[in-house]
């Protein structure tokens, strides 16, 4: 009899299993993919970051003349780039197997179903357990009538494994996946057109910062067609023919492409577990409903990560998992969903935490804004990475309500403002913290000073 069986070995599930074992619970983790780490390690965060790094190095070579360095023509070997990515994924997924052994987490390989609370079935074998944690993650969605074949019409999985650079890649959706993978292939030489339903990129990100991102990505070669919805994709002799509806206008346009990446969101993976028969409640969009302790509507069955409501982010799933099992073990697990940072790993990066200016306006909250452009930051000037800005939103007492950054290393810079938010620090306190010079982080300090009306270098 196990204390806990975790279903799914993604960042939510495997971290929860290890933490539960550390707390003295007898734990098993079930995984059917044949490799640990879930979407994040196998077909998400890690392979995309590997390709972003490789393609970024290639793009950098072309800009070396700005630094007075000339090199010969650089060439891309896509298969070697993919092999490097695959090796990173392989090493990391194997590393989780090692961590399981080290922490006495039993790995059960196969696809799980839950015949009843307290029982998990894998390949016909029933395993008894006091608690079950569902950490089954999410999968890409498509659009009505659009079939993803991973050859010509791709999800993120196919776009991470192309064997050559397409001539024209059309990306549907200017969200996180569309921009990250669009930039990978644009840097490697593809013409990339991003088609987006809304009249802006990166929905959910502060509008002003999203605009800076779009401008910077356009400068780096991405083409944007906003206010357009994909309707059909037809295979022709020469490639793919797309029809796009102009949103709000009675107009249809066509676009041809070699490959299409459909990046219009993800949905929770909850089918095949037997949840309906058990009476596990889900909301209208299929996410499993849980209480503050991550318990579903069925006692003894818990759920975390992408398959429950909230941002679909690996680090949020990890936090969920740790809080859930700490509570199960009698401790006080807690996640502050108001301070979960999000990062888009494009060049320049986009990072955000807390409320956007649009959300504050809509809620009628009183706030002040502080902004600082990287153009005025000496380290950014020295590096030639001057695109973007830091934007901080504070309440009338100076407490940070939200922070949004577009620029080099934004994903690292956001950590300071995330800590400020979690500790209830004010913009004054951040600004009075000594920041090294010259550093990109000085832009964070200056944005906080700007919120107080006294930026030095603006
Ligand atoms: P998303 O929700 O970020 O963006 C989807 C976009 O597609 C939206 O802008 C939407 O307006 C647009 N769209 C929807 N229907 C359309 C249509 N018919 N025609 C044109 N555009 C249309 O979804 P995405 O990029 O697929 O990412 C899925 C999830 O994965 C997100 O929750 C994201 O947070 C997560 N993720 C996070 C990463 C990170 O943290 N760096 C990296 C990759 C994914």
pLDDT digits (tens, 9 = 90+) for 290-317: 999 999 999 999 999 999 999 999 999 9
Model confidence at 452, in pLDDT bands (50, 70, 90)? Answer: very high
pLDDT (tens digit, 9 = 90+) per residue, 97-154? Answer: 999 999 999 999 999 999 999 999 999 999 999 999 999 999 999 999 999 999 999 9
pLDDT given at position 368: 98
237 φ/ψ sector (left φ>0, alpha ψ -120 to 50, else beta) = alpha
Q: Please answer whether residues 427 and 398 qualify as being in contact, where contact means their C-beta atoms are separated by less than 8 angstroms.
A: yes
Strands 349-354 and 342-344: antiparallel
Q: What is the pLDDT of residue 99?
A: 98
Confidence (pLDDT) at 41: 98
- Protein residue with least CA distance to atom 19, ligand 1: 229
Q: Rounded distance, CA 183 to CA 199, Å?
A: 20
Q: Which of 39, 173, 195 to mutate to test the pocket of ligand 1 (most atoms within 8 A of CB)?
A: 173
At 43, the pLDDT band (50, 70, 90 cuts) reads very high
Q: How many helices (H) and strands (E) does the chain have?
A: 14, 22
Integer Cα distance of 8 and 283 in angstroms: 21
User: From the CB of residue 268, how many other CB atoms can be counted at a distance below 10 Å?
Assistant: 23
- Residue of 12, 38, 175 to mutate, ligand 1, most atoms within 8 A of C-beta: 175
Give the pLDDT confidence score for residue 243 in this predicted structure.
98
Closest CA to 196 of 259, 251, 265, 137: 265
Task: Give the separation between CA 70 and CA 380, rounded to whole angstroms.
Answer: 22
For residue 159, the CA-to-ligand 1 centroid distance in Å is 14
Q: For 359-373, what is each residue's pLDDT tens digit? A: 999 999 999 999 999
Task: Give the C-alpha separation, 35 to 139, whole Å.
Answer: 16
Q: Which residues line ligand 1 (CB under 6 A)?
A: 143, 172-178, 180, 195-198, 203, 229-230, 263-266, 312-313, 342-345
- What's the pLDDT at 316? 98
**Whether residue 437 lies in the annotated active site:** yes
Whole-structure pTM value = 0.97
| Mean pLDDT of the residues in the chain | 98
Q: Determine the average pLDDT of the residues in 218-224.
A: 98
How far is 448 from 458, CA to CA, in rounded Å? 12
């Amino acid at each position: 009899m196990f204390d806990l069986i975790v279903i799914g070995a993604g960042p939510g599930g495997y971290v929860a299993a290890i933490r539960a074992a550390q707390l003295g619970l007898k734990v098993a983790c079930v995984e059917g993919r044949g490799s640990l780490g879930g979407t994040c390690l196998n077909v998400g965060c890690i392979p995309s970051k590997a390709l972003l790094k490789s393609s970024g190095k290639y793009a950098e070579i072309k800009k070396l003349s700005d630094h007075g360095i000339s090199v010969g023509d650089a060439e891309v070997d896509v298969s070697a780039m993919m092999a490097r990515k695959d090796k990173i994924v392989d090493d990391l997924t194997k590393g989780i197997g090692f961590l399981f052994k080290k922490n006495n987490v039993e790995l059960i390989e196969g696809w799980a179903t839950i015949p009843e609370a307290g029982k998990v079935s894998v390949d016909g074998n029933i395993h008894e357990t006091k608690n079950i944690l569902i950490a089954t993650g999410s999968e890409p969605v498509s659009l009505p009538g659009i079939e993803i074949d991973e050859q010509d019409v791709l999800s993120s999985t196919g776009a991470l494994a192309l064997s050559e650079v397409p001539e024209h890649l059309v990306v549907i959706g200017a969200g996180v996946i569309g921009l990250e993978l669009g930039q990978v292939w644009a840097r490697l030489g593809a013409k990339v057109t991003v088609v987006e339903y809304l009249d802006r990129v990166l929905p959910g990100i502060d509008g002003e910062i999203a605009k800076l991102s779009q401008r910077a990505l356009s400068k780096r070669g991405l083409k944007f067609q906003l206010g357009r919805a994909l309707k059909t994709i037809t295979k022709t002799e020469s490639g793919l023919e797309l029809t796009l509806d102009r949103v709000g206008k009675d107009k249809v346009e066509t676009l041809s492409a070699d490959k299409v990446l459909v990046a219009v969101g993800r949905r929770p993976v909850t089918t095949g577990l037997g949840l309906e028969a058990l009476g596990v409640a889900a909301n209208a969009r299929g996410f499993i409903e849980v209480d503050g302790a991550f318990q579903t509507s069925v006692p003894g069955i818990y759920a975390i990560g992408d398959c429950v409501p909230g941002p679909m982010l690996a680090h949020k799933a990890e936090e969920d998992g740790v809080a859930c099992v700490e509570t199960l073990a009698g401790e006080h697990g807690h996640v502050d969903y108001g301070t979960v940072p999000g990062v888009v790993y494009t060049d320049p990066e986009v990072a955000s935490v807390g409320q956007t200016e649009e959300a504050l306006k809509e809620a009628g909250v009183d706030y002040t804004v502080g902004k600082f452009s990287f153009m005025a930051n000496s380290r950014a000037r020295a590096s030639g990475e001057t695109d973007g800005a830091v934007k901080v939103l504070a309440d009338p007492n100076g407490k940070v309500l939200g922070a949004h950054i577009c620029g080099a290393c934004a994903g690292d810079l956001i950590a300071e403002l995330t800590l400020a938010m979690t500790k209830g620090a004010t913009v004054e306190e951040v600004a009075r913290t000594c920041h090294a010079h010259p550093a990109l982080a000085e832009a964070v300090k200056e944005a906080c000073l700007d919120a107080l009306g006294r930026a030095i270098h603006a």
